Amino acid sequence: MNQRTARIMKRFIESQVRENSADFNPNLNALFSLEEVLVPLTRAQRNLTRSFTLLARMKTPQITPDGMIGGRGFALSLKDTKDIISATIDNVAQVIDAIDDEVSNNPVWKRLKEQHEEESKEELSEETEEKLNDYAEDKLNEQVEDYESELSLDDLREIEETGRIPEKTPEQLSREIDQIRRTEFEEENHFTP
């Protein structure tokens, strides 16, 4: 392990015990940003692990005759390359764990998350209720429009004069609907008897 990694590890271990400041004002956007950071880090760890696995499966003579990779001025032994990738995987895993612990276990962020979830549920229930009411109103208007389009001219006059919808038997309505559909079909297909 190199000195830089050792210093980072030492700071990481020393920072395990910490207290939240009383004047800390949490920001929901900062929480979301922290959570977003986890996604590419997790992908990076997965890609590094896959690279290490592929490299570890290869035999040194398959890759290089002298056991070194690289070019002019910068050459590494294959073993050192594997060690560096392995250390990088460990470092990325530590960062992921630290951020995940911060987001998941810090009481300040937990409280902020709970408040946001409650507000979201309230907003969602209000929006859902509005959408349901709009949907019900639209369906009712469609049904009224459909009913009005199926009424005869005499029925419409009767509604205007009396203010009430005429009572019809289901058979009468069915016959009128069939007649309207036949007429529409004949008009669409230019059918003349």
Residue 9 resides in a domain: no
Element (H, E) at 70: strand 68-71
Which is higher by pLDDT, 190 or 90?
Answer: 90
Residue 122 resides in a domain: no
The total number of structural domains that make up the chain: 1
Residue 48 resides in a domain: yes
Residue 34 resides in a domain: yes
Residue 14 resides in a domain: no
The CA R_g of the chain, rounded to the nearest whole Å, is: 36
Element (H, E) at 170: helix 170-188
Asked if residues 150 and 177 have their Cβ atoms less than 8 Å apart, the reply is: yes
Tens digits of per-residue pLDDT, 50-84?
999 988 888 877 888 887 888 777 788 888 888 99
The fraction of the chain above a pLDDT of 90, given in percent, is: 15
| Average pLDDT in the chain | 76
Distance CA 49, CA 85 (A): 8
**Angle, vertex CA 110, rays to CA 107 and CA 111, nearest 5:** 85
Domain containing residue 99? 27-105
Residue 175 resides in a domain: no
Residue 13 resides in a domain: no
**Confidence at 193, pLDDT banded by 50, 70, 90:** low
Residue 159 resides in a domain: no
Overall pTM surpassing 0.75 (yes/no)? no
Asked if residues 46 and 93 have their Cβ atoms less than 8 Å apart, the reply is: no
pLDDT of residue 141: 66
Distance CA 139, CA 132 (A): 10
